Structures are given as structure tokens and as C-alpha cells.
Amino acid sequence: MGRMLRFAIVLLLADSTMVNFRVLARGMSSIARAFEANAVVPDVVGKAPEAAVTVKFTSGVEVKSGNVLTPTQVKDVPSVSWDAQPDVFYTLAMTDPDAPSRKEPTFREWHHWLVGNIAGNDVASGDTLSAYIGSGPPPGTGLHRYVYLVYRQPSKLQFDEERLPNNSGDKRGGFSISKFAKKYNLGDPIAGNFYQAEYDDYVPILYKQLGG
């Protein structure tokens, strides 16, 4: 093969790969793109959800594709909703893969909230396995990613996890939402969202709540 011809073929291949990539990126939802861009895939889940979970706090802020919020703004249980079918049960999780820091996540994941058997998107109807705890990133550990995920359950489930209260941080670390999902055959998450937060002066108050 002539050198020019080979060169032309390589260019052609490179060009068609670029086009495919662009088509792929365009086909992804903005949530899926944000999960990829911030490495929530693969750090937390193997596949990004296409749909967004709506998470709104009484402080007035809302979770949006990795936006930066403060521990003060997210201290109280948010209202959460997603595109749900009323006759289906769902599991909701909030988890931090960046414990104690994104650089050295030796306690990955530290889970903040876990509720199963939610009828439709009525979170209050579910079984709280782990009560909501707000963000408490240690000082000097930079931004942590706080990831919300919703899974569609195959049916109502019997969860054998120990129920964890909001006044202790015991047994929250070393969690894996992907392993949990595998254990209960939940498949890939159907919806998700995440924000990022770093230390602020609410964190010591939260640690006091946890008995620290």
C-alpha cells in the first residue's frame, strides 16, 4: 500500500471514530455526562443513570449535576423525587466515595442515607435502613462528591441490614452501593444526581450530633 493511501485510511478511521464519539456524547443525558465527567462512573457505579433525581433542601438549594453546595445548606433531610411508577418499589441512596478525601478514599464509600421499599417516590413510605446524615467533609480534604441514586426494585424486599441511626457514624464507611444493588438484584440505577461540598463551620456541629 502506498504511504499516501495508508495515511488517508488512518485519517478516515480517526475521523469516523470522532464522529461516533460525538454522536455518543450527544445521545447521553446531561446527568449521564456529568457522572462520566466527574468520574462518578466508575468510582461509584458502572453505568450512569439517564434520568435526574430532584433533590431540594429547605435552605433553598437544589442538587444539580455536581454543583458545589455547603454542609450548612444540606444539613436537613431534603425532599427527593423522580419519575416513578406508583405501583413500583424503589431504593434511594446517598453516598460519598471521597471519604476521607477524593485523593485517598480509604473509607470509600461513606453512605449518608439509605431507604428501601419506597412506594413510587413517596420516600416517607419506605423502610429507612440508614437515617439521613448531612455532609461532614473533614477540614482540608477538599471537595467530596455526594451521590444520589435511585434503583427500581424487582419487588418489595426484606432487607437484612442493621438499621443505622442519625446520631452515630458507626458502620457508615466501607459501603458499596453497587454491591448492595447486586445483593438485591436492583440492576443499574434508573436516576441519579450529585453535588460537591467541602468543609464549612457546620461540620463540627454535625460531628457533635454523631457523638464525636
Ligand X SMILES: *[C@@H]1O[C@H](CO)[C@@H](O)[C@H](O)[C@H]1NC(C)=O
CA–CA distance from 173 to each of 29, 75, 111, 207 (Å)? Answer: 30, 19, 7, 15
Q: Which is nearer to ligand X, 53 or 206 (CB)?
A: 206
Site for ligand X in 127-156 (CB under 6 A): 131-132
Stretch 182-211: interaction string toward ligand X, x if CB under 6 A: ---------------------------x--
Query: Is there a cis peptide before residue 100, judged by omega within 30 degrees of 0?
Result: yes
Q: Is 166 in the site for ligand X (CB under 6 A)?
A: yes
Q: Which is nearer to ligand X, 77 or 119 (CB)?
A: 77
Rounded Cα gap, residues 34 and 11, in angstroms: 30
Q: What is the bridge-based pairing of β-strands 54-56 and 89-96?
A: unpaired
Q: Which residue is nearest to ligand X (CB)?
A: 166
Q: What ranges in the chain are assigned the alpha helix state H? A: 3-27, 30-37, 40-43, 177-183, 203-209
Q: Which residues, in sequence order, are CB contacts of 152 under 8 Å at separation 6+?
A: 88, 89, 90, 186, 187, 190
Rounded Cα gap, residues 82 and 17, in angstroms: 35
Q: Is 51 in the site for ligand X (CB under 6 A)?
A: no
Closest distance to ligand X from the beta carbon of 166 (Å): 4
C-alpha cell at 129: 435502613
Please check whether residue 80 is in contact with residue 101, taking contact to mean a CB–CB distance below 8 angstroms: no
Closest distance to ligand X from the beta carbon of 44 (Å): 23
Q: Which is nearer to ligand X, 35 or 57 (CB)?
A: 57
Closest distance to ligand X from the beta carbon of 105 (Å): 25
Closest distance to ligand X from the beta carbon of 146 (Å): 15
Q: Which is nearer to ligand X, 164 or 190 (CB)?
A: 164
Q: Which is nearer to ligand X, 16 or 58 (CB)?
A: 58
Rounded Cα gap, residues 204 and 197, in angstroms: 15
Closest distance to ligand X from the beta carbon of 50 (Å): 31
* Rg value, the chain, Cα: 20
Site for ligand X in 61-90 (CB under 6 A): 77
Closest distance to ligand X from the beta carbon of 134 (Å): 7
Write out the residues near ligand X by the rule CB under 6 A.
77, 131-132, 166, 209
